[in-house]
Structure 1
Amino acid sequence: MANTAGRATDRPPWLTLPVPEEPALNRMKALLDQGRLHTVCESADCPNIGECFGNKTCTFMILGSHCTRNCRFCAVPHGSPAAVDPNEPQLLAATARQLGLQHVVITSVTRDDLADGGAGQFAAAIGAVRAQLPKAGIEVLIPDFKGSMPALEIVLQANPDILNHNIETVPRLYPVVRPQAGYSRSLALITRTSQAGILPKSGLMLGLGEKIAEAVAVMKDLHQCGCKMLTLGQYLSPSPAHLPVKEYIHPDVFTELAQTAQKIGFRQVNAGPLVRSSYHAGYSLAELIQA
């Protein structure tokens, strides 16, 4: 399914989703607007937004709506970031309580303009959720903080149940896919998370031109760093201005990769064309605990 320009064509049927129910979307958007909150579900054009919003779940995105980086795979807007809202953690926690969430997932735009990269706001959000929903699981999906270990320690000391940091792609493609990040930097973050006794999680996008052997090598690197949970999903280009899809990966390949990951030693794997970092996150944690 690729043409001579190296761009995949003919989006396959397994990526077809039902049209989201507009009333469910509007109810969630209205609730989020009340708290002046953003979600990565909306900002990153997640294909699962209809399912998740319909089930009254979301992934909160703190620290504004604009990212200081401009990764060519990501739909989150790039531009001048907003001032940090000191009320955001409490508003987020109140909204999570109103939704009755049993597992709260918090991510952010990348804020390279801040001295701590936004780590303090993550810690404040974790604390606010703990106070208002003491029985809820808390998962954070964090940027790399430009490799700052002191910033990472701020988040680790807030004691989330899961710390997710996506490796995203194979090392060979980093200069194109993640030019402002570093493969070894991300692995060091995951290693420190494991050493701190926090459950590490990471994820890969497939279809950017990586080879299967390269993806398996990354999985082995992640496991060696102590990563216990893994997501594998299909990259979908947000617009013609973003990186093109090089290949649509068949669902059977995702199944085979999930089996390979389990053999490598991952305790929980969620793999499939429509899987994203936080997709069914609460179920994934429950599955790991019961294993």
Structure 2
Amino acid sequence: MSAGQSDQGDPVARIAAALERLAPPAPREVDWRNSPAYLWDGVNARELPEIVAPALENLRGIERQKAQVRDNIARLAWGHATHDMLLWGSRGMGKSALLRAATRAVQDDAPMALALVQVAPGALKSLPDLFHRLSEVRRQFLIFIDDLGFAEDDTVGPQRLRSWLEGGIEARPANARLAVTSNRRAILARQAGEQDSGSDDNPLNRRDAVDDKLALADRFGLSVGFHPCSKDQYLDIVRAYAAPLGLSYTNEQALEWAMQRGQRSGRSAWQFVVELAGRAGKAI
């Protein structure tokens, strides 16, 4: 090698190093036994020290839903027969908050029996890998998929979900159940014309298309609906949030706040209380 010429090293070693840099990182070792919750990103899981959720008793206007969801999660924690759950319906009515709050309440009675695993957006395809890892752990798991929806032309996603729920080759393990929230009961988007009968151009009966989409929701053993709250329910939710903070307001103010946001819901009630607390110079 002439003077001044740099030594590039072994070409094979350089190629191997470049390929190693391009390869995805190896899965990180996770202790699946000791944390109350985890976030699955499609490759690795991140341990979370706590489940951030309101106290279960502070969720108002959904008493029936609270009882159903908590009871089902408690069964899972104790290893009893348990349903996969679909929580569907009106936005802002506490679907995801209820799942987190109910899980935390069950953990108060059985701290290490159950863990919540939330699947990050975009990580749905990786669920078989997550199932495999959880199947090797002696613990119960609630796998939480928030705000699930499929595009109108997506046929693969719904098929895989059916398989996961009903014992296909990639089915979720016996020590885990799925908990899904969606604004639609059918989960999939529906077109207005689906209620019409078939035509010469489209021999597939539209009613069959609707039934097929609803059949996906029917795979969940427990389907819990959430509906817009009444005026009295909304005001009750506001009182439940505001009273512990010593905040004063009028019902007219609370209702005006909801009207400005176009809905009476648990979310708008909480946002109103946050506004009250901010005006009063209080932290929440």
Specify if TM > 0.5.
no
Q: Which has the higher contact order (CA 8 A, sep 6+)?
A: 2
Bigger Rg over Cα: 2
